[in-house]
A and B are shown apart, each in its own frame.
Chain A
Amino acid sequence: MRHTLVALMEDRPAALNRVLGLLRGRALAVYSIAFGESETPGVRRITIVVETTDVQQTIKQLNRLIEVLEVTDVTNAEYVVRETALVKIHAPEQQREEIRTVAEGFGAKIVGICGPTVVFEMTDTPDRLGEMIERAKVFGACETMRSGSLAMALGVTTSPTEVPAREEIGRPWWQADGAC
């Protein structure tokens, strides 16, 4: 099953390599990955969309990495997910207006025009982006680029299986699925 994981990790050299290497080594398919600064200096937040049959095992494996501070599976939580796509379309002058109308229908906006091509940008859910790109192909989309999913859980904690603060004595957070 496809899971959306959100992780916090220390910004150490090769941290992203380690995450990807681990997932590859465990034979898990990665659909998208988005990696950037978090609100804390020196800490990165990463969203990974991964196919796994045992997400708890995947989370525990990620937690073995020294730089990984926390991993949350938001798949079954209330969360928002957004992705940005850039799409370049061959657009002769006479089609521009129609393209603009369709784009606006999807909530996309044109961000660049050069010669016979236009580039528009859209931020939405991955599914909606997929629909938009399919539609754009009808117009002769020649180049697409997607950012990978960004996910954020709603509310204070990020997952139903989430878990007491790390400092809490007695029952470490990674034991959430542990005993009994």
Chain B
Amino acid sequence: MTEERFPFPVPVPASGFPPPASRLPPPERTGAQVMCEALLRENVEVMFGIPGGAIMPFYHAMWEYRDCLRHVLCRHEQGAGHAAEGYARSTGKPGVCVATSGPGATNLVTPIANAWMDSTPLVAITGQVSSAVLGKDAFQETDITGITLPITKHNYRVTRAEDLPSVFHEAFHIARSGRPGPVLIDVTKDTQQARVVPDWDVTLNVPGFRPTSAIDQHAVRAAASLLTNASKPLILAGHGVIISGAVAELRALAERTGIPVVTTLHGIGAFPEDHPLSIGMPGMHGWVHVNRAIQECDVLINIGARFDDRVTGKASTFAPRARVIHIDIDPSEIGKNVKVAVAIIGDARSALTALLEEIPPRDAAIWLNDIRESQATHQHRQPYLRRPETTELMPHDVYAALNAALNERGGYRVVTDVGQHQMWAAQLIEWRRPRTHITSGGAGTMGFAVPAAMGAAIAHPDETIWAIVGDGGFQMTNQELATINQEGIRNVKVAIVNNGYLGMVRQWQQLFEGKRYSGTPLSGPSFAGLAEAYGLRGFTIDRIEQAQDSICAAWDHDGSAVLDFRVEREANVFPLVPPGSSIGEMITREASHA
């Protein structure tokens, strides 16, 4: 542990535009200055990136705006991209990441793809070689707009400084409007260097992008009628509820109708899990009673979820008795995976507001009671896992201690990575508020948690941001601990659920591939020692009685910390729907203990 901080002063962002006129020679600007001012006009306060040759003019200009436009120097562009995602997911505002051409840009591909799959507003700015050598295989030239075509909502290559104001305005509009997503802006070096008198009087002209529309009242009435007449109705709430800020409307709908609420992985926090109508998470690692409720319900209303295969299992067998109502802002999600009886196109908040005007009060107490009985039989938050004689700490002990601390203290957000620890977190922590659970869902990007937690920590300096991560994912992006130290970020606490395996793959190998642990055993350094080497506080925990105290000590420590929980190596995530199976066919425990 060390209290030393990076010796250089860290610019403190201040809000407000325009920046002091004294430092800007009016009215001419370089393209790079225009880029900075365009970001300020979009209310950007922080960006995450790494400089390089083709983006140097932008960094040169950035220095002039450093008191209102904070730049966080990351250690790898993937970390910068995920940090911007963490910022975006915790605030709802677009995150911004910056990289140079060539490898800098290609290192952003994973976070861009992740933002694409998880509908995260992200603006990626990349430098590009000068126009004069474009297409000539110049040093660090890569066709990044070509590479990111299928994983961006839109992308731009800018070769004229005059275009910068409209391109930036359009890019932010597209990234945050409708179903949010990533947009990439690739700016050639000569464009950043060119001198121009910017024309800020830009009007949006994107006729092919019409993300919002009036809610179809016919569909709303049809949905209200189905829900009113159903005997076993069920709400499936997804990410769209959180993105559109429809948490209050969802709660109003549930409370007026008494319909039980299921929340998907990204829908966690859309509905408080301590609410009497909350029944939990569905899908591959969902609870048995939740999946059974889906298979038995007669009307299923999906609000802002996309029927991902991790939710539906084998789609043709999903909710076989249900007439499905689907609310989604993206028309292409309607009928993509599951046949829909009523579609309401629009953002969840507008759709629910319209639905609340049409739907009369009702209750579903008998149905809820059935589900609760099934829950009592099948859901065991803690004890169903065996505690082998040889081990001291089970993963579940870690989550129990963490859950207790989170609920006692409040003022937290949790970012999870991908794998067993992610599913345990979704299952075993009692989630209550939107945007407190941030994870990589659709893309399943290991290495997401540490940098994303850093981004969330910058957005919310008064909260404690927990990154829960496996030892595999942690070792993919732990270089960002250096960034955390350099930036003086004091509110990131990394909990490593360390089992010495790529655990989820090992679990599948155990259950489906005859325990052939090919390529999954994993070693690492002393993570506490590594944390100390990075100037953070490190803890090693291998006994149950240490868990609670260490979590509290880390929380109380005025600085970021890493907790290495050395848990039972071969604990599994249950329940489990085998890949390709119906969600009605769940494995609830290991065969030898069944």
Which A positions have Cβ atoms within 8 angstroms of B? 9-10, 13-14, 17-18, 21-22, 25, 54, 56-57, 60-61, 63-69, 166, 169-172, 174-175, 177-180
Interface string of B308-336 (1 = CB under 8 A from A): 00000000000000000000001110111
The residue in chain A whose Cβ has the minimal distance to the Cβ of B159 is: A13
Q: Which residues of B contact A169 (CB under 8 A)?
A: 214
Can you list 20 A-B pairs with a CB-CB distance of less than 8 A? A9-B208, A10-B207, A13-B157, A17-B146, A18-B149, A54-B335, A60-B331, A61-B332, A64-B330, A64-B332, A67-B208, A169-B214, A171-B216, A172-B210, A172-B214, A175-B216, A177-B335, A178-B216, A178-B331, A179-B342
Partner of A25, one of B150, B331, B343: B150
Q: Tell me the minimal C-beta distance from B152 to chain A in angstroms.
A: 10
Beyond A66-B154, A66-B209, A69-B207, is A178–B214 a contact (Cβ under 8 Å)?
no
Q: What 6 additional pairs, Cβ within 8 angstroms, besides A65-B208, A175-B343?
A: A17-B149, A57-B336, A66-B174, A171-B214, A178-B219, A180-B341
Q: Tell me the minimal C-beta distance from A41 to chain B in angstroms.
A: 14
Interface string of B2-43 (1 = CB under 8 A from A): 000000000000000000000000000000000000000000
Q: Which residues of A contact B213 (CB under 8 A)?
A: 172, 175
Beyond A57-B335, A60-B331, A64-B330, is A174–B345 a contact (Cβ under 8 Å)?
yes
Beyond A21-B150, A66-B154, A68-B208, is A179–B219 a contact (Cβ under 8 Å)?
yes
- B145 near A14 with CB under 8 A, answer yes
Q: Which residues of A contact B150 (CB under 8 A)?
A: 21-22, 25
Q: Which residues of A contact B341 (CB under 8 A)?
A: 180
Counting chain A CB atoms within 10 Å of each CB, the highest count among B208, B209, B336 belongs to: B208
Which B positions have Cβ atoms within 8 angstroms of A? 145-146, 149-150, 153-154, 157, 174, 206-210, 213-214, 216-219, 222, 330-332, 334-336, 341-345
- A179 near B222 with CB under 8 A, answer yes
Q: Which residues of B contact A54 (CB under 8 A)?
A: 335
- B153 near A66 with CB under 8 A, answer yes
- A180 near B219 with CB under 8 A, answer yes
Bound-state CA distance A76–B441 (Å) is: 39
Beyond A66-B153, A174-B345, A180-B219, is A60–B210 a contact (Cβ under 8 Å)?
no
- A180 near B146 with CB under 8 A, answer no
Partner of B345, one of A14, A56, A172: A172
- B344 near A179 with CB under 8 A, answer yes
Q: Which residues of B contact A17 (CB under 8 A)?
A: 146, 149
Q: Which residues of B contact A177 (CB under 8 A)?
A: 335
Partner of A170, one of B208, B214, B332: B214
Bound-state CA distance A104–B150 (Å) is: 46
- A174 near B331 with CB under 8 A, answer yes
Bound-state CA distance A117–B213 (Å) is: 59
